[in-house]
Structure 1
Amino acid sequence: MSYGEFDKYAERYDSWYEKNQVIFECESKAIKALGLRGKGLSIGVGTGMLDFSAPVNVGVDPSVNMLKRAKTRGIKPVRAIGEYLPFRNGSFDFVIMIATLCFLISPEKALRESRRIMRSRGELAICMIPKDSSWGKKYIEKGEAEHALYKYAHFYTINEAKDLLNEASFTITSVISTLGYSPCDKPRVEKPSENPEGKGFVCIKAVKSNELKDPV
C-alpha cells in the first residue's frame, strides 16, 4: 500500500464531509452513542473529523498531511501504523478505528496491539462500512475501478469483524449503527440504532477480556 495516496487525499477527505453534512451528522451521532470515556486513541485517525466525536486525545496515522489536519482539531498526532503502536502497555482507556479496519495490512496484529496498549477493561470500537451493505458494495465497486484509496481496501462483514475481535481476546458489548438508506437515496438524519441489519455505518464496541488467546 502507498501511504502517499492518503497524503494527497487529505483535503478531499474533509471537503467530502463538508458537502455531505447529513451523513457526517449521522455517523458522528453513532460514534457519540458508543459512550467512550477516558484517554482515547484513534488508529487511522486521518484528519480527525469524525474521531473528534469519540472524543479522542491521540491519533496515529501514516499520512503526515492527514495528521496535520487532525492536530488542528486538538488531537495529538503520532505518525505510526496500527500494527506497530509506539505506546507503553496500558496507556489508554479506549481505542477507536473509524473506517480503518479495511485498510489494515494485518488486522489481527493491529487488534492485539490495541489490546496491549489498553488499560484493564479498556474498550475498543470498530466503526466500519459492512462489506455486504449497499454502501460497502458501492466502495468495493470504486476499488475495482481503481479509486485512489479504495483500491487498497478489504471490506469485512459484521460477523467477520466480530470474529476478529473474538480471536484478539475482546468481548463484544454493543453494536451501534446508522445510514439505513442506500447511497442512491436522499440522505436523512437518523438516530443511532442497535439493529445493524442493512445499515451502511456500523460501530462494534468490545471490552478487553482478562484472558489472552494464543495467536493461531
Structure 2
Amino acid sequence: MVKFDPFENYSQKYDEWFDKNRFIYESELQAVKDVLPKSKNGIEVGVGSGRFAAPLGIKLGLDPSRSIGEIAQKRGIKIIEGVAESLPFEDSQFDFVLMVTTICFLDDVEKAFKEVYRVLKPMGCLIIGFIDVESSLGKLYETHKDESTFYKDATFYSVKEVVSYMKKAHFRDFTIRQTIFHAGEGLKDIETVKKGYGEGSFIVVKANKNKFI
C-alpha cells in the first residue's frame, strides 16, 4: 500500500515543516540544484507540496495525495495523481525525473526505477534526494520514526542500497552530492554541498539512462 495517508491528512503540517526548518530545506535545495540539468523537460515524482519543484523551475509533478497536490498547484505546479510504480506517461518522454525524500515511501523501489527508466529519453537522468540511513540524521530518524507523523512507515536506505537499485534498473554514470553535516533540526545556517558521501546526512544521487537503450 502506498504510504501517503499522512500526507493526505496532514498536508498543511507537512508543508509548514519547511518554514520551521528553513536551513535544512535550503541546504537540501542547493544540493539538488548542484546536479539538476538545465532542461525544462522534467518532472518531480512524489512532488508533495512543491517545495522543491517550484524553486527549481519544474512545472510538472506527480503525487498520490490530492490534498498535498493542491498546495503544490498553488505554487504553479501542474499535478498528476499517480504513483512511481505505474507512471502514466509514454516511453522516452522526459529529460530528467527528480525524486526528493520519495524513495523511503515507495512500495516497490525496483519497479519504480524501471518505470522512471522507461519514461526517460536516452541519456535522460534520474535524480534521487534522500536521507542516508547510515548518517547521523538518518540514524536519528530511524530511531524515532515511530514517533513521527510522516516517517512511521518509511523505509530508509543507505547510499550503496540506492545506487544498487539504480544499477539494477540500468542507470549509469553516477554523480553524488552530500549536505547536512550536523544531526538534528537546529541548523543556524545553510550547509555547504560536497561531492561524494559519508559525511553528510542528505544525499543526492544522479545517474543517466544508457543512450543506446
Which range, TM-score by smaller chain? over 0.9
**Structure 1 residues 170 and 84, CA gap change in structure 2 (3 angstroms):** same
RMSD, matched Cα: 1.6
The DSSP-based 3-state class of the residue aligned with 1:155 is: coil
**Could you tell me how far 1:185 is from its partner in structure 2?**
5.6
Residue 168 (structure 1) aligns with: 169
Residue 4 (structure 2) aligns with: 3
Q: Which amino acid aligns with 1:144?
A: D
Distance in 2 (alpha carbons) for counterparts of 1:209 and 1:197: 27
Contact conserved, 1:37 with 1:94, CA < 8 A, in 2? no
Residue 152 (structure 1) aligns with: 153
**Could you tell me how far 1:78 is from its partner in structure 2?**
0.4
> Which of 52, 61, 81 matches 1:59?
61
Distance in 2 (alpha carbons) for counterparts of 1:139 and 1:133: 10
**Could you tell me how far 1:151 is from its partner in structure 2?**
1.6
The DSSP-based 3-state class of the residue aligned with 1:180 is: coil
Q: Which amino acid aligns with 1:119?
A: K
**Could you tell me how far 1:163 is from its partner in structure 2?**
0.4
The DSSP-based 3-state class of the residue aligned with 2:91 is: coil
Residue 95 (structure 1) aligns with: 97
Question: What runs of 5+ residues in structure 2 fail to find an aligned partner?
Answer: none
**Could you tell me how far 1:199 is from its partner in structure 2?**
0.8
Distance in 2 (alpha carbons) for counterparts of 1:186 and 1:29: 15
Question: What runs of 5+ residues in structure 1 fail to find an aligned partner?
Answer: none
Q: Which amino acid aligns with 1:15?
A: E
Cα deviations by residue, 1:116-164 (Å, 9 ceiling, x for unpaired): 111111011000100111111122123234x332121111100010000
**Structure 1 residues 122 and 172, CA gap change in structure 2 (3 angstroms):** same
**Could you tell me how far 1:75 is from its partner in structure 2?**
1.3
When structure 1 is superposed on structure 2, of 125-134 and 167-176 the one drifting more is 167-176
Number of aligned residue pairs: 211
The DSSP-based 3-state class of the residue aligned with 1:83 is: helix
**Could you tell me how far 1:184 is from its partner in structure 2?**
6.4
The DSSP-based 3-state class of the residue aligned with 1:174 is: strand
**Structure 1 residues 31 and 53, CA gap change in structure 2 (3 angstroms):** farther
Identity among equivalent positions (%) equals 32
Q: How does 1:1-216 map to 2 (within 5 A)?
A: 1=1, 2-38=3-39, 39-145=41-147, 147-183=148-184, 186-210=187-211
**TM-score, normalization by structure 1:** 0.91
When structure 1 is superposed on structure 2, of 3-12 and 183-192 the one drifting more is 183-192
**Could you tell me how far 1:52 is from its partner in structure 2?**
2.6
Segments of 4+ moved more than 3 angstroms: 184-187
Cα deviations by residue, 1:50-81 (Å, 9 ceiling, x for unpaired): 23343322111110011111111121100000
